[in-house]
Structure 1
Amino acid sequence: MPSLRASFLARLLLLALLVPVCAQATARVETPRVRAELLAYAPEGVAAGKPVWLGLQLQHQPHWHTYWKNPGDSGLPTTLAWTLPAGASAGEIDWPAPRPLPFGPLVNYGYEDTVLLPVPLTLSEAPASGGLPVKLQADWLVCKEECIPESGEFDLLLPNGGVLDQHRAAFEAALAARPQALANASAEVRVEGDTLVATIAGLPATLAGSELRLLPETEGLIEHAQAIQQSWQDGRWQAQVPLSPQRSASPERLPMVLLAGDSAFRVEAPVSGWKALGTASAAAPAPAPAPGAAPPTGIGFAAGLLLALAGGALLNLMPCVFPILSLKVLGFARHAGARRELAVGGFAYTAGVILSFLALAGALIALRAGGEQLGWGFQLQEPVFVAALALLFTLIGLNLAGVFELRTLLPGSAAGWQLQHPAADAFLTGVLAVAVASPCTAPFMGAALGFAFTLPGAQTLLIFAALGLGLALPYLLASLLPPVARAMPRPGAWMARLRTVMAFPMFATVLWLLWVLGVQAGVNGVIGLLGLLLAVSFAAWAWAQPGRSRWWLGTPAVALLAAALAWSLPGLRAQPAPAATTAGWETWSPERVAALRAAGQPVFVDFTAAWCVTCQVNKRTTLADAAVLEEFRRAGVALLRADWTSRDASITAALDGLGRSGVPVYALYPADAGTPQLLTELLSAGEIRSALANLK
């Protein structure tokens, strides 16, 4: 019988959480579509009180473009996150005037060719003698017919007091391209029904009689592709602009950019006449929520706790938790005749599960409060974390299969750790259970999580604690009930065979994680991880050899492992999510949903992810059923797939709007502005037919 069982390796999960993402930061990043470079301009020197500018220059390949602060009907603006020393602060992007970018029935606003996005840098004190270090994390969406999210990390060191004018022409051109502020202009904006009426006086006389284009700086406010009615009278320009039916804001003041040929002007005006959002459709009766729909605000905290407890218990039936069943079966078999050890292990396992859920919840709350668009299972959206889990499960599988024993790799004191601290070993098995279960969402669990994030922080943590208790409850009860202990077979030689058999669920989990990584990082990421797993396996086997063979084989094995790690890490970076290619399915976007519904077509959206095992089961069963697809076709329902395998802020926002924070989520949107029906996580053909019947 092994002195250390495989769950001891759960401690490696803590190391996996600390693996840094390695990326080389420079002043320039190049992709096949964009050449991005961080520039600086200090005409009077880098010193306190002097004008200093930073700027991200984007040079687009032909026909590619990025977006303005209001991207229009689709797209995302470029975002800049700065890391600066004390005494230095960066302002907002001083956006150059954009150009309209028509695409089919849509109109977007952004930049082609080369654009510099200037940012003012304020120095309240002199930089250190070694210079002023500047770090930038930039994210941009670059589009042609398709759109690809890209990012880059940039480093610059600005010399203390040094004059920087190498890029003077680029900065002067970018600053000259900003919309001109009109000091003598006066403007007022009012809402009349579904129209925004803007009246502006004091515009340059050279514009009189010209047709202007109005661009609000607020996103999602107007219909950009629809023509506006405009007129001139007594030097005053008036425009009637259609409001968007999906508008999500009612600003009290509206900054606007007016485009007139190659000129651009900026005015700001108060807005009057707003009606509450949703007023027009408030009288329409909302359809009854489908089973599993988001709970209403008045669900009550006690009911939320019960939903979380039930969802956590049902999580044990989800496929992603099956590997942990292997470890728990071994644990019960090992202590079948020792009721005290079973009870202590049950309580320790429960503590590990609950505290891990609380740690995940705390991290998620903190990141969301900091502006991150994250949801349940967010850690599986990071390729490095997926690779670390694959490494962990490979080692567990090799240990169960007898390739190595931890007592041969560790000092004697550490090798006896499990025998001295079985409760700590059970606790770490609970930690591992949460790491593996986190991609899954069970029935009732989605509603509980969506409700949890509407509550204050302390109550949110209690919901997650109830979820953890539900997951651990079957094992806790089994460890405390004497009939369960009496039903277990006594330890014997059969346990060695069972231990070997249990290695195969671990290797199956590694296959699943490799597939997830393939979706996130592509074939290069998978090949890199396979090489790393091979090197780790060889090192574990080599150091398990007896006598001097350990050193003859183990030393080159460690060198090989280091080389494999350096080779594989660059490939562990998320790539753009592939478009939906399954027959009959389109790639989801909020604009596509709005366009289809406006055209009178209902929409079914599959919010999914490669790391969500329940999602993949539903995709290959119910959602691949020819009869179900025919039902959708007869009902005239458009099928859209939202892939959340890698982080996607727009999908996170859509899930939040549905009262959910994880996947799977299945939403059936009626053709009108009615409330979408949410289906249960374990999808069935009968449930889909019932939901389609509710559309009629």
Structure 2
Amino acid sequence: MSAQAYEDEGQKIAASLLLESRMPAAGTETTLAIRMSPQAGWHGYWLNPGDAGFPQQLQWHLPEGVTVGELQYPAPEQLLASDLMNYIYHGDYTLLAPLVIADDIAAGTPITLAVDIRYLVCSPKLCVPEQQRLQTRFKVGEKGASKKYLETFNTWRQLIPRPAAASADFTVHKDQFVLSLPLPESTTLAEELHFYPEVNGVLSNTASQSFVRNGDRLFMQTVATEGNVSDFYGVLSLNETLAIRIKAVRQPEGDLVFPTQVSLPPEQPGNLLVTSLIAVLGAVLGGFLLNLMPCVFPILSLKVLSLANLSDERVARTGAVAYTLGAVLACLLLGAFILMLREFGHQVGWAFQLQRPEIIVALILLMMAIGLNLAGLFELGTLSSGSRLQHKPGAVGDFWTGVLAAFVATPCTGPFMATALGAALVLPTSIGLMVFAGLGLGMALPFLLVGFVPALRQRMPRPGAWMVTAKRFFAVPMFLTALGLVWVLMQQSDSQYVFTALLLVLLLSLGLWLTGLFQQAGRQKPWWPLVLVLVISGGSLTTVAPGSGTKATVKDVESTMAFDEEALLALVKDQDVFVYFSADWCLTCKVNEKTAIERQETQAAFSRANTAVMLGERSGTGQMVTQRSLAFWQNINALVCHYIFGIKEGTCSRKYCRNC
């Protein structure tokens, strides 16, 4: 910070020009500050002054090789005077800008910076335009900012609105302006919010602004002053300590609906605790029941049986803890990745990995490899070998088996998991991660109990030749899982991509068969055929792009319509609408459809009640359910909503909604 900052006397605002570093090095960037200190009872104006006033106007005088970047303003305050809304600063405020020193300026070169600044300063009775020349001097050197100046500038930087992680969407219909912004549910909001457009004349400054939270999005509705509004920037003050700078991108008229009836009430501390506890317990129970799924049960069974002949308590417990850590860590990583993407505005849900054809192919190959291992084509030694638990590789194998089981089980989360996972994605991040950890803990619970309770191990059948037969039998569910994934891939890709995937399955089987032969012959490095196959597989997947699936969006039931928000809003004006969401990789969704929704009796009941039926698909990477008025529906795979006839202010009245 320069001690040579120049201040003009006799002004209503005392202004000074300051630098964070007294001797910035050539080729570096430091921060420049314009400190504005109004006298008591006077105020300055923001970038957009509102209905009256004008912002600071600057004319820089810089030597060659020195440049100043865009000026950054702290969030303003509101001042309503005589029906005029102004955006102002009460008290001291600081404008910041980056100062860049060219790399060809020699060390020791003296630099003089000057700026002519014009601004308006007002009191409740009087407004005075003022101008000053601010000046500071420094030498190019090798020093950074001192600790004292760094702390001061960091304090000022905290007041500058942070760039939003994702842009906001807005629409204008007649004079109605609706804005939708991705915002994590865990963000603490003030009781009164305000959005400040940086461009004057876009919004009515005196009109009220209504805010509603809907899942992980924040909606705002106000009055636009003109219909032909292009993209612009604005600042949203979220609370006393946090403001964000948003790029608002215009969308086609009708794409956004202000969700007055869909908003979620604020959680009271007691309600939040109960909701969190129920979500975590539901996740543990759901994870426990997931062990019955065909892609998990064989893995868990062989791991549990591997503990039956262990008398060493330490080894058994180590294996159980390693498996548990693997399952919990996998669920935490998947959950954290989802929460991180949603913080940046992306709309993803649980089991999102099965919306990518490339990942589906990788899972098909993995399921086939596990199945061929169980069938005895080659030996891996980490799924069923109890002797390996006596050494470090055994615990490592248990850990990675837990990771594998958690990853492949995510699309099988059934009715008992939908509510818990939906809550995890709208609760505060720390509690959401606890829910994901609870899912992993529930999955590992059987293995954990067997590892820590000797009586359970004693009741298990003794290892013997029958385990070889059981191992072969458990290969069947893995092959069936791979077959099911092929069917899912067919819905998301074209025939060429599916053919490539099947060819890779054939090559993988050939490579593992050769590996098994090399193992039986006792050859050194028996894994090279498999490595060769993996290289070929990776190259093939990068050269063939997945096309569109051939499946129709809506099938089987002719009266079912494809989900569309505009159509929903139109239909609900005249009749009830039954909406359900599905995904090809969601086993529970398909069971619900076949056993309940698509039955003739159910369809006849819909017909008698004059109820329209809509189906939304989430099988591919495209979003049929948009991220706007229905954003929070994407947290889970299967969901049913019944819209009762009646509409208010263009938004649906949600009478009944439940997770499947």
Q: TM-score, normalised by structure 1?
A: 0.53
Give the 3 Å change call, closer, same or farther, for CA 593–475 of structure 1 in structure 2. Answer: farther
Which segments of 5 or more consecutive residues in structure 1 lack a partner in the other structure?
A: 1-86, 90-123, 127-194, 199-214, 221-245, 259-275, 287-293, 409-414, 682-696
Q: Is the 8 A contact 1:305 1:448 kept in 2?
A: no
Shift of 1:417: 9.0
Q: Is the 8 A contact 2:178 2:219 kept in 1?
A: no
Give the 3 Å change call, closer, same or farther, for CA 346–506 of structure 1 in structure 2. Answer: same
Give the 3 Å change call, closer, same or farther, for CA 506–254 of structure 1 in structure 2. Answer: farther
**1:248-647 maps to which residues of 2 (within 5 A)?**
249-257=220-228, 297-298=267-268, 299-318=271-290, 321-338=293-310, 340=313, 341-406=315-380, 419-546=391-518, 562-563=535-536, 565-573=538-546, 575=548, 578-583=552-557, 584-598=559-573, 600-647=574-621
Structure-1 separation of matches of 2:465 and 2:571 = 63
Partner of 1:679: 658
Give the 3 Å change call, closer, same or farther, for CA 422–606 of structure 1 in structure 2. Answer: same
Q: Is the 8 A contact 2:514 2:529 kept in 1?
A: no
Structure-1 separation of matches of 2:401 and 2:304 = 13
The number of residues matched between the two structures is: 419
Question: Match of 2:365, as an amino acid?
Answer: L
Question: Match of 1:678, as an amino acid?
Answer: C
Question: Match of 2:572, as an amino acid?
Answer: R
Structure-2 separation of matches of 1:477 and 1:553 = 37
Question: Match of 1:485, as an amino acid?
Answer: R
Shift of 1:441: 3.2
Secondary structure of 1:674 counterpart: strand
Q: Is the 8 A contact 1:348 1:427 kept in 2?
A: yes
Secondary structure of 2:221 counterpart: coil
Give the 3 Å change call, closer, same or farther, for CA 555–318 of structure 1 in structure 2. Answer: closer
Question: Match of 2:565, as an amino acid?
Answer: P
Alpha-carbon displacement from aligned partner over 1:228-265 (angstroms, at most 9, x marks no partner) = xxxxxxxxxxxxxxxxxx9964245455239xxxxxxx
Q: Is the 8 A contact 1:393 1:509 kept in 2?
A: yes
Which segments of 5 or more consecutive residues in structure 2 lack a partner in the other structure?
A: 1-66, 70-99, 103-171, 182-213, 230-256, 647-651
Q: Is the 8 A contact 2:512 2:529 kept in 1?
A: no
Structure-1 separation of matches of 2:544 and 2:306 = 41
Q: Is the 8 A contact 1:216 1:257 kept in 2?
A: no
Partner of 2:153: none
Structure-2 separation of matches of 1:537 and 1:372 = 37
Structure-2 separation of matches of 1:337 and 1:553 = 30
Shift of 1:278: 6.5
Alpha-carbon displacement from aligned partner over 1:308-358 (angstroms, at most 9, x marks no partner) = 322332344359833211111112222213262443332222211211111
Structure-1 separation of matches of 2:259 and 2:178 = 22
Give the 3 Å change call, closer, same or farther, for CA 548–486 of structure 1 in structure 2. Answer: closer
Give the 3 Å change call, closer, same or farther, for CA 622–315 of structure 1 in structure 2. Answer: farther
Shift of 1:621: 2.0
Secondary structure of 2:285 counterpart: helix
Question: Match of 2:564, as an amino acid?
Answer: S
RMSD of aligned Cα (Å):
4.2
Give the 3 Å change call, closer, same or farther, for CA 575–624 of structure 1 in structure 2. Answer: same
Structure-1 separation of matches of 2:371 and 2:358 = 20
Q: Is the 8 A contact 2:372 2:378 kept in 1?
A: yes
Partner of 2:253: none
Structure-2 separation of matches of 1:387 and 1:634 = 44
Structure-1 separation of matches of 2:510 and 2:470 = 24
Partner of 1:25: none
Structure-1 separation of matches of 2:221 and 2:631 = 18
Alpha-carbon displacement from aligned partner over 1:494-524 (angstroms, at most 9, x marks no partner) = 0000010011111011011111111111322
Structure-2 separation of matches of 1:459 and 1:552 = 47
Secondary structure of 1:439 counterpart: helix
Shift of 1:586: 1.4
Question: Match of 2:361, as an amino acid?
Answer: A
Question: Match of 1:679, as an amino acid?
Answer: R
Structure-2 separation of matches of 1:620 and 1:603 = 20
Shift of 1:405: 1.5
Shift of 1:564: 5.4
Q: Is the 8 A contact 1:652 1:661 kept in 2?
A: no
Query: 1:670 aligned to 2:644?
Result: yes
Structure-2 separation of matches of 1:640 and 1:389 = 31
Give the 3 Å change call, closer, same or farther, for CA 606–381 of structure 1 in structure 2. Answer: same
Alpha-carbon displacement from aligned partner over 1:634-679 (angstroms, at most 9, x marks no partner) = 2222111111011234526379545660111112221224224223
Partner of 1:152: none
Q: Is the 8 A contact 1:320 1:440 kept in 2?
A: no
Structure-2 separation of matches of 1:432 and 1:418 = 21
Shift of 1:628: 1.8
Structure-2 separation of matches of 1:295 and 1:216 = 23
Structure-2 separation of matches of 1:444 and 1:320 = 14
Q: Is the 8 A contact 1:374 1:649 kept in 2?
A: no
